[in-house]
């Protein structure tokens, strides 16, 4: 199975993932050939090119390029198996783009379900009679030097736990949106199957990202706090159900748990692409297909307009 990679910034994470799975990246594409050559030399894997035609003989294409390029690359490599970084489209979609994504063999890298914390939450919700969920709150704090508007931060950061919640409870539709003064000040209300999700985005007090999630059932509440801090990397404090800790948390040690989750998602994708598992099994394990990615972006169209 020949694997091609588009993108040499975030795309570099895939060299390690592919190697761990017993494969190699055979061809790496970027517009700046000198940069691609340096990456290939440093990673010790692949042919460097700035000619898209060199990817035509690949079986799998990894797209890790800027969001606005995803549509054209997926169209260019129609018929290939494609693993695309999130979000799939990242702006208001039309029928042309949706039809392309749905008719191609595309999966999208939403790796949040692959945290051990996420797996435990899913187990509790599904298997421990966490009855009649009616409300969810998700507070997302972000503090970095980069200046971006609330929409960009939402599409880059808040969509990760939102995809996980969609996997648990179904497609969410944004029914209310308010943006306040300042770089990050956004309050939104979404709904799925009579469950209300209040998702708030704000400027954090500490550098990094924080996720404060609470899920309210008929007779109990689940809560978990986690995120990314430069000194800690990614982490999750213990999950609490009815105020009682039910696990010991999840922390980065020698390897960042975010990278572990991304690697697990990609391994499942390669198992599918190589024919070791069926498509339905890959999806049931948490992998996001194009339909799931479109559902998420459809649900937040009011934000993307």
Position 146 confidence tier, pLDDT thresholds 50, 70, 90: confident
The predicted model gives 60-85 an average pLDDT of: 96
Contacts of residue 294, defined as CB under 8 A and 6 or more positions apart, other chains included, come to 88, 89, 93, 98, 101, 102
Query: What are the tens digits of pLDDT across the range 120-140?
Result: 999 999 987 788 999 999 999
Same fold across 3-111+264-289 and 113-253+292-304: no
Lowest-pLDDT range of 116-120, 140-144, 178-182: 178-182
CATH 3.30.360.10 holds for 113-253+292-304: yes
Nearest of 135, 275, 137 to residue 195 by alpha carbon = 135
Checking if the pLDDT of 181 tops 90, the result is no
Checking if the pLDDT of 301 tops 80, the result is yes
The predicted model gives 71-94 an average pLDDT of: 94
d(CA 78, CA 102): 11
Distance, first Cα to last Cα, the chain: 39
Tell me the fold of 3-111+264-289: Rossmann fold (3.40.50)
Query: What are the tens digits of pLDDT across the range 8-52?
Result: 999 999 999 999 999 999 999 999 999 999 999 999 999 999 999
The predicted model gives 172-186 an average pLDDT of: 88
Position 267 confidence tier, pLDDT thresholds 50, 70, 90: very high
Q: Report yes or no: 169 and 145 within 8 Å, Cβ to Cβ.
A: no
Mean pLDDT, the chain, integer: 95
Strands of 3-6's sheet in order across: 47-49, 25-29, 3-6, 60-63, 81-85, 105-109, 288-289
The predicted model gives 218-237 an average pLDDT of: 95
Confidence at residue 91, expressed as pLDDT on a 0 to 100 scale: 87
The predicted model gives 257-278 an average pLDDT of: 97
The predicted model gives 225-243 an average pLDDT of: 96
What is the domain partition of the chain in residue ranges? 3-111+264-289, 113-253+292-304
Residue 172's Cβ-side half-sphere holds a number of Cα atoms within 13 Å equal to 26
């Amino acid at each position: 199975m020949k694997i091609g990679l588009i993108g040499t910034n975030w795309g570099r994470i895939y060299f390690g993932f592919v190697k761990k799975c017993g494969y190699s990246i055979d061809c790496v594409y970027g517009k700046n050939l000198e940069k691609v050559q340096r990456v290939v030399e440093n990673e010790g894997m692949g042919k460097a090119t700035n000619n898209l035609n060199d990817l035509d003989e690949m079986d799998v294409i990894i797209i890790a390029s800027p969001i606005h390029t995803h549509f054209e690359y997926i169209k260019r490599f129609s018929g290939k198996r494609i693993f695309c970084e999130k979000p799939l489209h990242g702006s208001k979609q039309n029928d042309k783009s949706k039809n392309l994504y749905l008719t191609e063999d595309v999966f999208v890298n939403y790796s949040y379900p692959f945290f051990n914390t996420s797996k435990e939450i899913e187990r509790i919700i599904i298997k421990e009679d966490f009855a009649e969920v009616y409300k969810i709150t998700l507070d997302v704090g972000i503090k970095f030097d980069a200046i971006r508007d609330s929409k960009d931060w939402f599409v880059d950061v808040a969509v990760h736990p939102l995809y996980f919640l969609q996997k648990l409870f179904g497609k969410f539709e944004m029914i209310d949106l308010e943006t306040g003064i300042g770089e990050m000040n956004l309050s939104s209300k979404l709904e799925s199957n009579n469950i209300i999700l209040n998702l708030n985005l704000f400027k954090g007090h500490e550098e990094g990202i924080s996720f404060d999630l609470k899920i309210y059932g008929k007779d109990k509440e689940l809560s978990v706090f986690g995120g990314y801090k430069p000194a800690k990397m990614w982490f999750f404090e213990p999950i609490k159900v009815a105020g009682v800790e039910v696990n010991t948390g999840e922390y980065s040690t020698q390897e960042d748990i975010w990278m572990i989750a991304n690697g697990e998602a990609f391994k499942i994708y390669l198992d599918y692409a190589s024919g070791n598992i069926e498509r339905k099994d890959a999806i049931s394990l948490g992998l996001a297909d194009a339909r799931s990615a479109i559902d998420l972006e459809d649900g937040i169209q009011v934000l993307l307009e």
